[in-house]
Structures are given as C-alpha cells and as structure tokens.
C-alpha cells in the first residue's frame, strides 16, 4: 500500500495535518486534495480538537504548488473540475469552526500559497518563499489565489504577484499582509506551538464566533456585518464559557473553558 499523501498527528487538543509528499515538494494532486478534505472534515467533527496546524513534510516546501505532471494533459473541462476540487478544499479550510494555522516551512507557491491563504493564521520561516507563478505556465490561479490575494493585500499587490509570477520573500509577504509573522526556521515549530497552545486554551465557542464574524464581515456590507456581530455577541451571553470568563476576570484567576 502506498503511503498516504497526508499525515495526521495529535498533541492534546492540537491536531497537526501534514502534506506528506516531500519527494514531490508536497505538490497538490487530486488524491492529496481529497485526502486533505477528509482530514479537515474529521478535525471539524472531532470535539477533542480545538486547533489545527497545517504544514508540509521535508526541509524544502510547505507546498510547492499543484502537481504540474497531473495537470499537463487536462482538457478545459477537466481543468475547471480540478480548480473546483481545489476551491472546495480551500473554502472548507476557510470556513472551519476551529482556527487553522499555516506553518510555512518552505516554498508556498501557486496552490501552496492558495492553501496557506485559506488558513486563518500564517507563520512563515524567514527562508520561505511565496508566490503565484501560474502565469509562467500560461495559467491563472485556480484554487482561489486571485480572490484571496486581492482581499489580503489589495489590488496592486495582487496584480504584482499574479502578473509577474515571481516568488517573494517571507519578509515581503509579511509587509504585504500575506503572513502574520516571520521567524527563523529553527524557531518555526516552537513559535507555531505557542500560538496553537494559546488558541487551544481559549473559549472554543468564542473562537468560532470570532472566526464567523470576521468571515461574514469580509464578504458583506458593513451594516450587515455589524448586525451579525451584535447577534453573535449576544449569543455568547448564553454560554457557560462567557460566565466562566467574566468570573475568572473578576476573581483574578485563569479561566477554565469547557466549550459550552
């Protein structure tokens, strides 16, 4: 039996999902897209999982892109289907009810950057390179890269990355707002772990509420977004976690959240 293109490990409430094709620089073929979707659906459904960390196996790449060998002979219809397959995964990650951290340990190009941008937080090694090089293959981004770049960076930077097709450094990606933090490669795992531990100890329903209000607000007008925020704010007052959080604050102790 061939090795799975995706591996999953747990450490307490933190689940690590790893794209496991280091010999192919973790390129995304159809089987890998499907395996990632299964892994994220399982993480969403597992009440023991509070945070997901997504990364790539090996020393070189987070995900170096879509698998060009698999794409080369696709028809126009097949190409559209492959794009929709990738977009389904990215949308699932983006709408996860639990925070997802992309730990960018190396190249995140094309589909790899699209995968990282679908995550809620991104922390990159200072040696990492990111980009949307599809134009060099006679293509446009297919897994949502044009749309998420536009929303993360604005029109000018999105056009720069998509039209020029050249990779940029992690530091430049930080300046553009593509990644949240850049650290030395030797510190990447530990720093990502700190974020994951902090999130794992936070109130799960409030985490989900924050993910929801920011996601909805990014896709609607401000009046609708404000109304949704007020509704979610009110719902939090019906939770045990809100009562525990406020009591702990007043009693000057650390809260113990149970997700209810």
**pTM (predicted TM-score):** 0.94
Q: What interhelical angle do 145-153 and 155-164 show, nearest 10?
A: 140
What's residue 1's pLDDT? 41
Active-site position among 41, 70, 94, 134: 134
Whether 260 is in a domain gets the answer no
Distance CA 133, CA 68 (A): 12
Q: Name the stretches of the chain with pLDDT < 70.
A: 1-2
Whether 136 is in a domain gets the answer yes
CATH for 112: 3.90.226.10
User: Known catalytic residue: 223?
Assistant: no
User: Known catalytic residue: 134?
Assistant: yes
Whether 258 is in a domain gets the answer no
140: containing domain? 6-200
Active-site position among 3, 114, 160, 244: 114
Question: Do residues 45 and 139 both lie within one domain?
Answer: yes
What's residue 2's pLDDT? 59
What's residue 147's pLDDT? 95
What's residue 258's pLDDT? 87
Q: Domain count of the chain?
A: 2
Question: Do residues 95 and 224 both lie within one domain?
Answer: no
Question: Do residues 244 and 188 both lie within one domain?
Answer: no
Question: Do residues 235 and 111 both lie within one domain?
Answer: no
Whether 27 is in a domain gets the answer yes
CATH for 223: 1.10.12
Question: Do residues 236 and 158 both lie within one domain?
Answer: no
What's residue 209's pLDDT? 95
Question: Do residues 110 and 61 both lie within one domain?
Answer: yes
Distance CA 13, CA 246 (A): 23
Question: Do residues 181 and 225 both lie within one domain?
Answer: no
């Amino acid at each position: 039996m061939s090795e799975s293109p995706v591996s999953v490990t747990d450490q307490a409430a933190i689940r690590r999902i790893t794209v496991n094709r280091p010999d192919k620089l973790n390129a995304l073929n159809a089987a890998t897209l499907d395996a990632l979707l299964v892994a994220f659906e399982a993480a969403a459904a597992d009440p023991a999982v509070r945070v997901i960390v997504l990364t790539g196996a090996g020393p070189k790449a987070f995900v170096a892109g879509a698998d060009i060998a698999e794409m080369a002979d696709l028809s126009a219809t097949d190409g559209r289907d492959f794009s929709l397959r990738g977009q389904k995964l990215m949308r699932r990650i983006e709408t996860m009810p639990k925070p997802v951290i992309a730990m960018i340990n190396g190249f995140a190009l094309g589909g790899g950057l699209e995968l990282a941008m679908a995550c809620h937080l991104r922390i990159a090694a200072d040696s990492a390179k990111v980009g949307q090089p599809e134009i060099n293959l006679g293509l446009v981004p297919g897994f949502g890269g044009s749309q998420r770049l536009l929303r993360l960076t604005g029109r000018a930077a999105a056009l720069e990355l998509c039209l020029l097709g050249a990779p940029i450094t992690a530091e430049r990606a930080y300046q553009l707002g593509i990644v949240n933090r850049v650290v030395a490669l030797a510190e990447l795992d530990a720093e990502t772990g700190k974020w994951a531990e902090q999130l794992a100890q936070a109130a799960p329903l409030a985490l989900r509420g924050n993910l929801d209000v920011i996601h909805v607000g990014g896709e609607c007008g401000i009046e609708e977004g404000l109304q949704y925020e007020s509704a979610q704010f009110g719902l939090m007052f019906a939770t045990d976690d809100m009562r525990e959080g406020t009591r702990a604050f007043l009693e000057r102790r650390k809260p113990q959240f149970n997700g209810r």
